[in-house]
Amino acid sequence: MTPVEVSELEQRLDETLPLVAKRAAKANDDRRPSSDVITAMADRGLLRLIVPRGYGGLEVHPRTFLELVERLARVDGSTAWTVMTLNEEAGIASAYLDPGSVAELFTGEPTTSVAGSGVPRGRAEQVEGGWLVTGRWDFVSGCTAADRVVLASLVVGAAPAQLCFVLVPTDEVTIDDTWRTAGLRGTGSNDVVLDRHFVPDRWAGVIESFGRPRPDTPFYRLPSGLRFPFPKVGVAAGIARAALGEFTALAEGKRPLFNKGSLRERPSAQVAFAEAEARHSAGLAWVHEMLDELWLVAEAGRPIPEALHARCRLACSHAVGASIDAIELLCREAGSTANFASSPLPTLLADARAVAGHFMVAPFQVTTAGRILLGLESGDPHF
């Protein structure tokens, strides 16, 4: 498959945005993604962005992935999160399952959508012809709209520890409706449950714990801790950009109590808006800088220096935090407006805060990065 121009991908995404905007409120109310939105994304190839071209995917640059997610999050954070994770899980399936099976799936069924979890919450027992898998995986975003789920488990009796990744049709799993949240409500990030479910060998892949993925491409040369934080920044940054737009419109029309002019004429509003713009933009710019530096190393096939790894993780967590700070500044200056459900601002703030709940960009990553940059052990076995 030949590379696809970024402008073409942007056009494909833009074609879906009116539908995303139309379905966003209902998806939030239903606490699950809109099936027709996910279908529209799949039909345009936007759910296999990081799947290798040799497997039928688009294999885009991670910066392109981040920017597409950010573009989508300006319209709806939940949809952006869901599309991001469906791409990531298709990438996990590509990383660890049999290459022939994955290539056959994505070339033969190019609109297939994959949800899942790379966190080993299950146990996999090898039997003749395949695996019996038991477990409960939480935070499986998009599972109600996906065709398949990829799930990680610990291999029973393996020493040293091994992980077994399986790909299972969604209609063969139990989805437990657990996603009752304030933020990113429309992602349907419910629990998925299996009980001694048989998975044939062709849809399973076993690696040593933290082992290298099968494809040898720049993206899969990155450690797992650097394949997943950057797109989360796209979600948070897009939400913050939406908040800046909402505040601009509010500030033009709102006349605060006991003020002669509009909100935008109030000095404190001017300062808050400028500070929010600076925090959001500076955080995102640093992430772009670090991603470009990281990609040069990955393309050259060199090991990722520990200090570079730490700065990349730090940049991502910092940028997500900066986006949240920006929205909080705007909400504070919006006054009572930000208290009403009729305003988009409280939803935007809750969505951005939910992004920071993911361990890849959580605040504790700042501590981990600081330890590394000060010459200490990370203290994190997943670093």
Superfamily name and number for 114-208:
Butyryl-CoA Dehydrogenase, subunit A, domain 2 (2.40.110.10)
The rounded percent of the chain whose pLDDT value lies above 90 is 89
Residue 1 predicted with pLDDT over 50: no
Residue 78: both structure tokens together: 């939940």
Q: Report pLDDT for 2.
A: 57
- Return d(Cα 318, Cα 283) in angstroms, integer: 7
Q: Report pLDDT for 380.
A: 81
Q: Report pLDDT for 100.
A: 95
Residue 267: enclosing H or E segment and its boundaries? helix 267-300
The whole-number average pLDDT for the span 154-158 is 96
The whole-number average pLDDT for the span 165-187 is 97
Beta carbons of 356 and 362 less than 8 angstroms apart: yes
Domain coordinates in residue numbering, the chain: 6-108, 114-208, 222-373
222-373 is classed CATH 1.20.140.10: yes
- Return d(Cα 52, Cα 67) in angstroms, integer: 19
Q: Which residues contact 74 (CB under 8 A, 6 or more apart)?
A: 238, 239, 241, 242, 245
Q: What is the pLDDT of residues 228-283, one digit of tens each?
A: 999 999 999 999 999 999 999 999 988 877 777 888 989 998 999 999 999 999 99
Q: Is the dihedral of CA 332, 333, 334, 335 positive or negative?
A: positive
- Return d(Cα 352, Cα 129) in angstroms, integer: 44
- Return d(Cα 98, Cα 270) in angstroms, integer: 56
Helix (H, G, I), strand (E, B) or coil at 126: strand
Beta carbons of 20 and 38 less than 8 angstroms apart: no
Using a 10 angstrom Cβ sphere, with 0-12 exposed, 13-18 middle and 19 or more buried, the burial of residue 216 is: exposed
The rounded percent of the chain whose pLDDT value lies above 70 is 98
Superfamily name and number for 6-108:
Acyl-CoA dehydrogenase/oxidase, N-terminal domain (1.10.540.10)
Beta carbons of 260 and 346 less than 8 angstroms apart: no
Q: What is the pLDDT of residues 322-376, one digit of tens each?
A: 999 999 999 999 998 989 999 999 999 999 999 999 999 999 999 999 999 999 9
Question: Can you spell out the DSSP letters for 44-92?
Answer: TTTT-SSS-GGGTS----HHHHHHHHHHHHTT-HHHHHHHHHHHHHHHH
Residue 76: both structure tokens together: 């709806």
What's the pTM value of the predicted model, to 2 decimals? 0.96
